[in-house]
Amino acid sequence: AWRPDDDDDQRRGSSGPVRVRVPAKVNLHLGVGPLRRDGYHELNTVYHAISIYDELTARRGDTLTLTMEGEGAGELALDDSNLAIRAAHALAGYAGVLPHARLHLRKQIPLAGGLAGGSADAAAALVACDALWGTGLSRDELAGIAADLGSDVPFLIHGGTALGTGRGEAVSPVLARPTSWHWVVAVADGGLSTPAAYRELDRLRDAGTAGTPLGSTDGLLGALRQRDPRVLAGCLGNDLQDAALSMRPALADTLKAGEAAGALAGIVSGSGPTCVFLARDAADAQRIATEVQAAGVCRETRVAHGPVPGARVG
């Protein structure tokens, strides 16, 4: 008798296009520990997925190709160095299928912005190709492959708000009663290199001019449970912020403009140069975004809310 399991590879999976939406991330707390022997830093971070999305569509094809539109189109290599292509190869290798797909990216997450846009695209490619090829991996298996692609990629498979340890790849969800936090995202002109930001932090620490390391995430996790944005504002922190400000001193003006516009707090996102501001509610965020935009201290502002789910089909 015919059973679905008898299906061959060509008929398993999806014959139509698979569309995956994946969010950007900010780090509500980014505690950077010592440099490890493998070149990574030990992290103690709280990831938070926000409502700025890239969209990846995967279609059947005879080879593996990638095209893109939107943020950074024309600036990003579309060859085997692209994280989405690397993700498709990694999944195909793991599952023992041919890496054949036509991938198309619609990007809204800025490149090299500290919002993990490249990692988001890798997470989206894993989820999309898994559905296209019918390889049917669990979210945890996908996160395992994701860890080899980049420290932030496993989080973008899961989304929400989560604790990240190790080099950031070990992710566990933060369980909290549902609350939406409202953010203003100030996108800068041009990007910053993540390895360069970590090197700059090491240099500042060696010179004794870096700020005191953040340490434990306990304060932030307690603040999340209180569901009061004024409490959360007091607990946001990023050890990489000094490095980003040292490399891009003008970011101090962006942070000041957010404060002047009445944001509860502002921090550099990840390795920067994007800055994020916490607002009281959606209307407050809209008002702050308009005001920061008018101050001329960034390329553009956007409003976002979080937490939102990770890479999902549909």
Task: List, by residue number, the catalytic residues.
Answer: 25, 152
Q: Supply φ then ψ for residue 168, to 5 degrees.
A: 115, -10
Q: Closest approach of Cβ 45 to ligand C5P, in Å?
A: 9
117 touches ligand C5P by CB under 6 A: no
Residue positions forming the annotated binding site for ATP: 110-120
168 touches ligand C5P by CB under 6 A: yes
Q: Closest approach of Cβ 166 to ligand C5P, in Å?
A: 8
Nearer to ligand C5P, 36 or 225 (CB): 36
Q: Which of residues 30-89 bind ligand C5P (CB under 6 A)?
A: 39-41, 43
Q: Which of 27, 44, 57, 151 binds ligand C5P (CB under 6 A)?
A: 151
Nearer to ligand C5P, 43 or 131 (CB): 43
Q: Which of 120, 198, 241, 311 binds ligand C5P (CB under 6 A)?
A: 198
Q: Closest approach of Cβ 205 to ligand C5P, in Å?
A: 13
272 touches ligand C5P by CB under 6 A: no
From first CA to last CA, the distance across the chain in angstroms is 33
- Contact present, 24 and 120 (Cβ < 8 Å): yes
Nearer to ligand C5P, 45 or 161 (CB): 45
The interface mask with ligand C5P, positions 20-39, x = CB under 6 A, is: -------------------x
Quick one: which segment of 48-56, 86-94, 193-201, 291-299 binds ligand C5P (CB under 6 A)? Answer: 193-201
Size of the residue set binding ligand C5P (CB under 6 A): 12
Residue positions forming the annotated binding site: 110-120
Residue ranges that bind ligand C5P, judged by CB under 6 A? 39-41, 43, 150-152, 167-168, 194-195, 198
